[in-house]
Amino acid sequence: MTVLGLGTAAVLALVGVLHVVWMFSPWPLRTREEFASKVVGVPAEKLPSGPATGAVAVLLGVAAYLVTSRAGVVPAPGPTWLAAVGTAGVAAMLLLRGAAGLVVSSRQRTEFARLDQRIYSPLCLVLAACCATVAALG
């Protein structure tokens, strides 16, 4: 369980770090317009604000911590059931994001929808399964 918890938390943390980078840069793309189209699926003027993107980064960091605490890698915050419930909540949110992304993107023909179907939503579903496993067996 330790390896699964660490691997899952590492991916969550990495995605969180990407969100911090995206607060300041369209990396790995060249322009905000290209980033908005491919990564977020909106026009550049509708990109989420820096604070909103930062909030997602913080939530991903909290999720990574909950997963590692449930896996027994770091101390659990508060009572032991809190890490289990928190990790199950992370799994539920990732499942919702992954499933919704597949359904919504299947109806669109944009670059974002293609990436959402091939990368973003499947990644969320895999992470959801990993979090659910850690929550149940951790």
Q: What is the pLDDT along the chain (138 residues), one digit of tens a residue?
A: 899 999 999 999 999 999 999 999 999 999 999 999 988 889 999 999 999 999 999 999 999 999 999 999 999 878 989 999 999 999 999 999 999 999 999 999 999 999 999 999 999 999 999 999 999 998
For residue 26, give Cα distances in angstroms to 12, 23, 69, 70, 99.
Answer: 19, 8, 32, 34, 26
Rounded-to-integer distance, Cα 24 and Cα 122, Å: 26
**What is the span of the domain harbouring residue 104?**
2-137
pLDDT, tens digit (0-9, with 9 covering 90-100), for 24-43:
999 999 999 999 998 888 99
**Number of domains comprising the chain:** 1
CB 9, CB 87: distance < 8 Å? no
Q: pTM of whole model > 0.75? A: yes
**Total residues found in the chain within this entry:** 138
3-state secondary structure of 42: coil
